[in-house]
Structure 1
């Protein structure tokens, strides 16, 4: 699908799988940046800033022309939920998400090194969890799955049975709004 070099600035196997499913050829060059929210930073501004910082960080040390950065958060009652620090934090997050709707927000940026220009967008998906029993939460935490996931869950994995419905992009909840990313790559000239 593409003839120009694309770099995914993420170590996420889920993001790689999504790009592969679209037939996009790319290389992976994870970007290690500080993901701490800035004082007073709005959630959407936060994910957009991190996505572009990741893309530009990868571009500063990797060959290629187009760089895709992304950052995903879970928003519930005004709290930005990133990856849990430990089992107790995962338990707290899953209890808070139990029985209530929340939003998954992924910011992504496509940076074109040749033009020194980036296009970015934030995509929001509403997710509705069923009411979770403590045994379900404990069993899920015991799998180890929550620890590298925003909001302590993966819709495409062991948490699928917790999700009653979604309103919006499924791939966004997985970690990369594929439809939007592909269109942005096409707009920027990275895809034929």
Structure 2
């Protein structure tokens, strides 16, 4: 079975767009309209999955005959969720707090077939150990990697952020960038859109 449904990436993330391009997929980009506020008492994994599904579902009315990819990532460390810092000052503070610590990234993915209503979901767990970082190293990193403010935990692992990291444990190295590609390939295959 081969689907003729268009593939929609429900994300404005340039990192996720590049991941899909690497797979050679033809897709459209749509910016979801969904409140990304964490709920009180919600686990980081639950937040990531709720946001991924919510982003995809927020686009369903605009794309009633499509495969929509929803994704979100939440980092967890020191008993709290870490989002995207969105400013250099926040990133400096966040990276100083993470120096030498181990944190967990929950990278959630969903594929919604709006024609059939089928929904595939997965949350990948990646454990990252940060190097001990000086304030000078953090400042130099943020000067050289300005996009890091748009990454959960301010760690852009696919770029210079790799120098911040001491160890990564994951079943899918792509998940830390933002999209668990291994599961996405499975989901697309199940919906009649084989990558190979």
TM over 0.5: yes
Q: Distance in 2 between matches of 1:51 and 1:127?
A: 21
**Which residue matches 1:171?**
174
The answer (yes or no) to whether the contact 2:65–2:115 under 8 Å persists in 1 is no
**Which residue matches 1:27?**
28
Return the offset for 1:62: 3.3
**Which residue matches 2:8?**
7
Give the SS at the match of 1:54. Answer: helix
1:186 aligns with 2:189: yes
Superposed counterparts of 1:44-63, under 5 Å: 44-62=45-63
Q: Distance in 1 between matches of 2:114 and 2:147?
A: 35
1:42 aligns with 2:32: no
The answer (yes or no) to whether the contact 2:67–2:114 under 8 Å persists in 1 is yes
Give the SS at the match of 2:94. Answer: helix
Q: What per-residue deviation string (whole Å, max 9, x for no partner) do you get for residues 56-85 of structure 1?
A: 112222364110000011111221110114
Q: Which runs of 4+ in 1 moved over 6 A?
A: none
Q: Distance in 2 between matches of 1:40 and 1:190?
A: 37
Q: Distance in 1 between matches of 2:31 and 2:24?
A: 20
**Which residue matches 2:153?**
151
Ranges in structure 2 where 5+ consecutive residues have no aligned partner: none
Q: Distance in 1 between matches of 2:159 and 2:3?
A: 29
The answer (yes or no) to whether the contact 1:145–1:158 under 8 Å persists in 2 is no
Q: Distance in 1 between matches of 2:65 and 2:97?
A: 42
- Provide the aligned C-alpha RMSD in A: 1.8
Q: Give the alignment's TM-score, normalised by structure 1.
A: 0.92
Q: What per-residue deviation string (whole Å, max 9, x for no partner) do you get for residues 108-137 of structure 1?
A: 111010111211111001111111111111
Ranges in structure 1 where 5+ consecutive residues have no aligned partner: none
- Between stretches 153-162 and 139-148, larger displacement belongs to 139-148
Paired positions, count: 192
Give the SS at the match of 2:167. Answer: strand
1:72 aligns with 2:73: yes
